[in-house]
Structure 1
Amino acid sequence: MSTFATIDDLPADSRVLVRLDLNSPIEDGKPQDNRRFERHAETVRELADAGHRVVCMAHQGRPGRDDFTSLSGHAAILAEHVGRDVRFVADTYGDEALSAIDALEPGEVLLLENTRMCDDELPEESPEAKAETAFVTTLAPRFDAYVNDAYSAAHRRHASLVGFPLALPAYAGRVMETEYEANTAIATREFDGPVTMVVGGTKATDVIGVMDALADKVDRFLLGGVAGELFLRAAGHPVGHDVAGTDLFDEQWERNRELIESVLAERGDAIRLASDLAYEDDGDRAEVAVDDIDEKTEAYLDVGSETVADYEPPIRASDAVFVKGALGVFEDERFADGTVGVLEAIAETDCFSVVGGGDTSRAIELYGLDEDDFSHVSIAGGAYIRALTGESLPAVETLRAAANRSQPPERR
């Protein structure tokens, strides 16, 4: 890929600083293993096997939140996936960290403490400002190269993401490379047949923006989740508003009503809406036809079986299918039919397919689908949305700029 340099271009015997995204759910104070560790381990393993000295950095949570914690537990999980020891140092760029970095032998791996424990990390500033922080100016001279593998954080202007590429020769890791290529395919690739997008999830504001931005690149949209219900409301059905126990609809409707109505008016022929919805009735799954709903009294938790049957033929006739968001609350097996049914249809179709967003991709694992049946399963959320809508990703832009530079600074 010519967009930026990759680790294929990395000089031999380098000391490399590698930015990963290991941000994970925290339960009982411990990080939970997930797809991000598995994916990033490929880059770390490849670098270590090649004899590089590998120093990793990552973030966890944000200051003030319950999941803001040390990365000590992350090192053990990463080590399991990499297949070799990953040392941890409870420091980011102080003397303890610098000593551990200097002591590394070829093929050894070290994980530094949570980058967000550094005051220099979080404020969103220009790459030039970030490159001048103590965090970057202290660490960069210890390294030959910087590798960014954190595509899922590429929409941020944080020091560990945009500062180091100005101070060091910079390369894309395998996750960065594959995520960028797959997630920009909708804008850059030519497809012979229809392009379909499955749109769902709870963040309607994001996906409605995607629908608007991709109107001329997608032949049909199949809707579910909160966005699907809001479009049903715009089409005149008495749904898409909050009932007791929910707060997902009214605020998003007010914010997006005009855009929803304009997208529906302009592209209504390309938009498929649910014909039935599922809800909980005495602990069981029940379904109701949208045309039979006179008043919304229940929270709808999935699209119905008729909708799944309606959505499968256009998926199977597609040359490319992109997924953003689940069609229901798939974590509850009673309300997984929509999401899993659509994913199964995609898996059985010989098409280019990208499943985006951490939540939706989790359904693949949860319900025993084979990840290899999809062209790409993204671990990115915000960056995936940015890529789909054509917005620039600051961390990608700094990698591109770095590809035009050559001479590395002298290492101490």
Structure 2
Amino acid sequence: MDYNKKKTIKDLDVKDKKALVRVDFNVPLDDAGDIIDDNRITAALPTIKYLVQNDAKVILFSHLGRIKTEEDKKTKSLKPVAKRLEELMGQKVIFVPETEGPELEAAINALKPGEILLVENTRFEDVVDGVLVKRESKNDPELGRYWASLGDLFINDAFGTAHRAHASNVGIATHIDDSAVGFLIEAELTNLAKGIDNPEHPFIAILGGAKVSDKIGVIDNLLNKVDKILIGGGMAYTFFAAQGHKVGRSLLEEDKIDDAKRYLEIGKGKIILPVDSANAPEFADVTPTFSDTSKDMPDDMMGLDIGPKTIELFKNELAGAKTVVWNGPMGVTEFTNFEKGTLEVGEAIANLPGAFTLIGGGDSAAAAKKLGLADKFSWISTGGGASLEYMEGKPLPGIEAIENK
């Protein structure tokens, strides 16, 4: 995938133009409807500010959560996002509580250069008159065509949805003459290419999380590129089973044991598994006991983290690395007793001298923030699913649809 050829925001003449911008304002809200974390809003600010400063009429589209019923619409409005964006931009943001129709059209046509308008949650189009139709999520061509008709050009800056073909990204891009990626997507693509397509060696990937099935594509794509793959998390226990060991009550994907065997065979010397496991008798935050992974695990135990010997092993493997890609936690990070592996490995990566360190979003990114190490990584992706599919070597529809230079 060579996305260097895609037009970027600076390739467009935006002055006095109605610029439709797909952003990712899918922020977490509390029960009172207040924003818990505004990172996704701040990530979009460089693109929005550039358009305002260059006299574009800025029309923002975003989804928020999943909309399956009319009831969902009552708690998933983008109105609080408009308020927060106003504070961050220091200027008025016109919020239109509609996704189509005369009110939206009139508000857009009344925009002056440098003004900002936020359209209501694009996924409100997934439920029409109480029926789940998924017009946005299934990229309804009429909806994409309609939204495209509201503007002169389109900028996609929502990396978090780049792996999905929705009406608000692929649909608009398909039905408009001028399209480009914004600054956030441009930075994502530059950093992902540096970490995955053109890495400096030694190149080490660290994969964790619950399931082998979630990471099969990543292992397939990276095995020929990396010097080592360190495997932790729940997925490691399927690999132990592939070696013929009993794994007690640990997470196990029986149907992926053959895949794990195949990877161990073709990745000989490259795949590094944990040498000890932090266990509990149940899925609970209790004091762990430790077992040697070269032996069978007791039948009444489940593995919930890597053990202290593995932490040291992984630190040793990381020493001297020039590129490190990390996706997935080493253990159950919501439990204080089983977060140590993730936190210590995260700290070791963050402190590697002269290395390019990339986190593929999701739980690993949350762990880095929890540690206060986020600013010590070279790049933390804003899109868990999109960065995972990039790591798998899959095309990203939201970017494929953008015009080439």
Shorter-chain TM band: 0.7 to 0.9
Counterparts in 2 of 1:34 and 1:331: CA distance versus 1, 3 Å: farther
1:197-230 alpha-carbon deviations (Å, 9 max, x no partner): 0000124312122112221101111111111221
Report what 1:197 is aligned to: 205
1:309-333 alpha-carbon deviations (Å, 9 max, x no partner): 1101221221110011111122333
The separation in 2 between residues aligned to 1:159 and 1:365, in whole angstroms, is 32
The residue type paired with residue 352 of structure 1 is F
Equivalent residue in structure 1 for 2:168, among 157, 160, 164: 160
The residue type paired with residue 182 of structure 2 is G
**Kept in 1: contact 2:20–2:58 (CA 8 A):** yes
The separation in 2 between residues aligned to 1:83 and 1:323, in whole angstroms, is 36
Counterparts in 2 of 1:161 and 1:296: CA distance versus 1, 3 Å: farther
The separation in 1 between residues aligned to 2:93 and 2:286, in whole angstroms, is 46
Report what 1:408 is aligned to: none
Report what 1:407 is aligned to: none
Q: Name whichever of 176-185 and 381-390 sits farther off.
A: 176-185
**Kept in 1: contact 2:358–2:379 (CA 8 A):** yes
Structure 1: stretches of 5+ with no match in the other structure: 244-248, 405-412
Partner SS for 2:215: helix
Q: Name whichever of 182-191 and 373-382 sits farther off.
A: 182-191
Equivalent residue in structure 1 for 2:43, among 39, 45, 49: 39
1:274-315 alpha-carbon deviations (Å, 9 max, x no partner): 111223488334433324554242332211121111101221
The separation in 1 between residues aligned to 2:14 and 2:28, in whole angstroms, is 36
What percentage of aligned pairs have identical amino acids?
A: 32
The separation in 2 between residues aligned to 1:333 and 1:81, in whole angstroms, is 34
Structural mapping, 1:76-91, within 5 Å: 76-91=83-98
Give the deviation of 1:258 after TM superposition: 1.9
The residue type paired with residue 395 of structure 1 is G
Report what 1:403 is aligned to: 404
Aligned residues: 386
Partner SS for 2:291: strand
1:372-408 alpha-carbon deviations (Å, 9 max, x no partner): 3212101212211211111111111111xx235xxxx
Partner SS for 2:312: helix
Report what 2:131 is aligned to: none
Structural mapping, 1:79-228, within 5 Å: 79-119=86-126, 121-124=135-138, 130=140, 132-133=141-142, 135-168=143-176, 169-191=178-200, 193-228=201-236
**2:387 aligned with 1:384:** yes
Report what 2:368 is aligned to: 364
**Kept in 2: contact 1:166–1:398 (CA 8 A):** yes
Partner SS for 1:55: strand
Partner SS for 1:331: coil
**Kept in 1: contact 2:206–2:326 (CA 8 A):** yes
The separation in 1 between residues aligned to 2:125 and 2:334, in whole angstroms, is 35
Structure 2: stretches of 5+ with no match in the other structure: 127-133
Give the deviation of 1:355 after TM superposition: 0.3
The separation in 2 between residues aligned to 1:79 and 1:327, in whole angstroms, is 39
Partner SS for 2:269: helix
The residue type paired with residue 109 of structure 1 is I
Partner SS for 2:317: helix
Q: Name whichever of 337-346 and 82-91 sits farther off.
A: 82-91
The separation in 1 between residues aligned to 2:92 and 2:249, in whole angstroms, is 50
Structural mapping, 1:266-285, within 5 Å: 266-280=266-280, 283-285=286-288
The separation in 2 between residues aligned to 1:318 and 1:365, in whole angstroms, is 22
Counterparts in 2 of 1:43 and 1:274: CA distance versus 1, 3 Å: same
Give the deviation of 1:123 after TM superposition: 5.0
The separation in 2 between residues aligned to 1:364 and 1:187, in whole angstroms, is 20
The separation in 2 between residues aligned to 1:296 and 1:316, in whole angstroms, is 35
**Kept in 2: contact 1:55–1:109 (CA 8 A):** yes
Partner SS for 1:27: coil
Partner SS for 1:311: helix
Partner SS for 2:268: helix
The separation in 1 between residues aligned to 2:88 and 2:239, in whole angstroms, is 42
Taking only aligned residues, the RMSD between alpha carbons, in angstroms, comes to 2.4
Give the deviation of 1:347 after TM superposition: 1.3
**Kept in 2: contact 1:195–1:220 (CA 8 A):** yes
**Kept in 2: contact 1:184–1:388 (CA 8 A):** no
Give the deviation of 1:153 after TM superposition: 0.9
Q: TM-score, normalised by structure 1?
A: 0.86
Report what 1:63 is aligned to: 67
Equivalent residue in structure 2 for 1:7, among 6, 9, 12: 9
